[in-house]
Amino acid sequence: MAGSSYDIAAATLRELDRDRYLSTLVLPADKRPHVTAILAFGADIAAIRERVSGPQPGEIRLQWWNDALSGEGHGEVRQNPLADALLDTLERYALPAGTLLRLLGARRFDLYDDPMPDLESFEGYAGETASTLFQLSAMILNEGNPVEPGDAAGHLGVAQAMIGHLRALGYVSAQGRIMLPWSILEANGVRETELFRGQDSEGLQSALGQIAELADAHLKKARTAIAQLPVRLRPAFAARALLEKQLPGWRQHAANPFTPPADDPDWRKIARLTMWTWRNR
């Protein structure tokens, strides 16, 4: 079943997370299906809140995946194509399932409406979600061996999460959620009700600018860390090419923080990813 399962994993990733899917196109052909399986799992978990009616069914879905990764699931686990591709990849490269179990634990936060309390909590959340996906992708390119230090994955994952939530501020706020560090927003005089109503203010502009600066700092640190990695591992971090375009794009659009900034068409993203990969060979 594994062959068709990988095809379904690719289709899932293409549907749920277009940028991550495009980033896989520059990977070595023999590694691409396995990285895709990891990323598709991450995208599927990230989308759970959108698919369920409330926290309880979301918790049930997370528990299903927890059992599957822990080996406690029933025989039908492998009948799920995404689980089949994921488990096959974990076995093939002897990847640590515990890393993905921590990702599941971090994603429980998504099911509820509690605000992200502070920068430390945000960076921890991003580390267990976005950074984990980069680290496992690099391990696959490294034949399953650890990639140390994990600075490239750590910094790029936090930058990706920050930029993503800056761009999605209007959508997330309309759901009554605060995913950016509340301590930074609150320190600038931002009120929850203003966010939920989509009300701009000088305080909000200041807070978002500070978060954008933090994202930029993580991007720069990621750039340095990626340059120190063996060439064969760098394609795992090709998403940096997209983020370095999206952050200045958000800044140009920052006067309208609740409306999503324009995004490049796929062909431009593919060209950017390809050029970045060639430059980092």
pLDDT-derived band at 72, boundaries 50, 70, 90:
confident
Alpha helices in 108-191 (DSSP H): 119-126, 132-141, 151-167, 169-174, 182-187
Does 80 score more than 70 pLDDT? yes
Q: In this predicted structure, what is the pLDDT of residue 233?
A: 97
Q: Are residues 1 and 106 in the same domain?
A: yes
Answer yes or no: do 81 and 179 share one domain: no
Query: Is residue 78 over pLDDT 70?
Result: yes
Both 78 and 167 in a single domain?
no
Structure tokens at 249: 């794009």
What's the average model confidence in pLDDT over 109-133?
98
Peptide bond connecting 81 to the previous residue in cis, omega within 30 degrees of 0: no
Residue in this structure with the two tokens 């430390």, named with its chain if needed:
120
Domain count across the chain = 2
Q: Give pLDDT tens digits for 20-30.
A: 999 999 999 99
Quick: pLDDT tens for 90-118.
999 999 999 999 999 999 999 999 999 99
pLDDT band for 76, please (50, 70, 90 cuts).
Answer: confident
Its domain, for residue 19, covers 1-112
**Are 227 and 257 in a shared domain?**
yes
pLDDT digits (tens, 9 = 90+) for 194-228: 999 999 999 999 999 999 999 999 999 999 999 99
3-state secondary structure of 144: coil
Q: Which of 112, 138, 169 is the last residue of a domain?
A: 112
Query: Which of 60, 93, 112 lies at the terminal end of a domain, its last residue?
Result: 112
Contacts 24+ apart (CB under 8 A), 277-281: 277/26, 277/234, 277/235, 277/238, 280/226, 280/227, 280/231, 280/234, 280/235, 281/231, 281/234
Domain boundary among 47, 77, 112: 112
Residue 208 sits in the same domain as residue 172: yes
Task: Tell me the whole-structure pTM to 2 decimals.
Answer: 0.96
Rounded to an integer, what distance in angstroms lies between the CA atom of residue 156 and that of residue 179?
Answer: 18
Task: Give the burial class of 109: count Cβ atoms within 10 A of its Cβ; 0-12 exposed, 13-18 middle, 19 or more buried.
Answer: middle
Rounded Cα–Cα distance for residues 137 and 150 (Å): 12
Report CA-CA distances (Å) from 11 to 8, 68, 83, 154, 274.
5, 21, 14, 27, 21
| 117 and 196 both lie in a single domain | yes
pLDDT digits (tens, 9 = 90+) for 163-194: 999 999 999 999 999 999 999 999 999 999 99
Note whether 66 and 170 are same-domain residues: no
* 105, 118: one domain: no
**Residue 74: band (very low, low, confident or very high) from pLDDT cuts 50, 70, 90:** low
Q: What band does 2 get if pLDDT is binned at 50, 70 and 90?
A: low
Q: Is residue 211 located within the same domain as residue 87?
A: no
**237 SS3 class:** helix
Pair (128, 263) in one structural domain: yes
User: Is-contact 162 215, C-beta < 8 A?
Assistant: yes
Show the tokens assigned to 259. 């409306």
pLDDT in tens, 236-247: 999 999 999 999
Q: How confident is the prediction for the chain on average, in pLDDT?
A: 96
CATH of the domain at 13: 1.10.600.10
The rounded percent of the chain whose pLDDT value lies above 70 is 98
Single-letter residue type at 87? L
Q: Residues near 122 by Cβ (< 8 Å), separated by ≥ 6?
A: 116, 158, 161, 162, 179, 180, 181
> Are 163 and 225 found together in one domain?
yes
On whether both 140 and 229 belong to a single domain, the answer is yes
